[in-house]
Amino acid sequence: MSAPAVFRTIREQIVEQLRTEVLTGQLNAGESLREELLARRFGVSRGPIRDALLQLSQEGLLQSRPNCGAKVAPVPSGTIQPLVIQLRQQIEAFCLLQIFSKLTPADDRRLDENLERLRTACQSGEMTAVVEHDMAFHRWFIERAGEADLLKMWLTVVTRMRLRYTRHTHLMDSFAEHEAVVAAVKRRDQAAAVAALVANIQ
């Protein structure tokens, strides 16, 4: 089954592209992002660029100062990293628990589709695709819960955490953790699903 079409505004497309570039290290901490250069790159006016930079600043990926533009924020210190990880685990586990009794075969198919896209990305080793589909996999649980505030909270936390694939020997190890989440969800084993989801967030 093909994935349903998703329509995003220009701002949303720019946000997702820049977010992925920061999370994959294509944009480094301290690197400046200038509106006029980004506008030329994306072929848009400076309005959507300004809005995108504002959103990413609110998420914590960028730092913005009046008359100084925006730059990539530093990675959170090791002191608060355990707290950031714990907050993300709590948000995602909460969402999974909220939706568990409402899951349908259609949800199972959507999870399978997300998982297959992640498998393809991990097999290819293309980090931009890996980050994109990893984020989409986890974001699905947040969006399925249907609370806009939860998505805002999650984005703020997940972007500060950054994604540490270096803890895996191979990218397929990361895929296997996601596969365990889907397997537990599909057999409706709530405890195992939550445990697998939390284990993947490190």
Q: What is the mean pLDDT of each run of 10 residues along the chain (202 residues)?
A: 55 90 86 93 94 90 82 84 93 98 97 97 91 92 95 88 70 96 98 97 90
Query: Which amino acid, residue 127?
Result: M
Give domain 81-200's CATH superfamily.
Answer: GntR ligand-binding domain-like (1.20.120.530)
Question: What is the spatial distance between Cα 122 and Cα 113, in angstroms, rounded to a whole number?
Answer: 14
Domain ranges of the chain: 10-72, 81-200
Strand pairing class (69-72; 62-65): antiparallel
In CATH, 10-72 is 1.10.10.10? yes
Question: What is the spatial distance between Cα 13 and Cα 10, in angstroms, rounded to a whole number?
Answer: 5
| pLDDT the model gives residue 158 | 87
| pLDDT the model gives residue 159 | 81
| pLDDT the model gives residue 169 | 80
Q: What's the pTM value of the predicted model, to 2 decimals?
A: 0.79
Give the tokens for residue 75: 């990675």
Residue 11's CB: how many other CB atoms inside 10 A?
Answer: 18
Q: Using alpha carbons only, how large is the chain's radius of gyration in Å?
A: 17
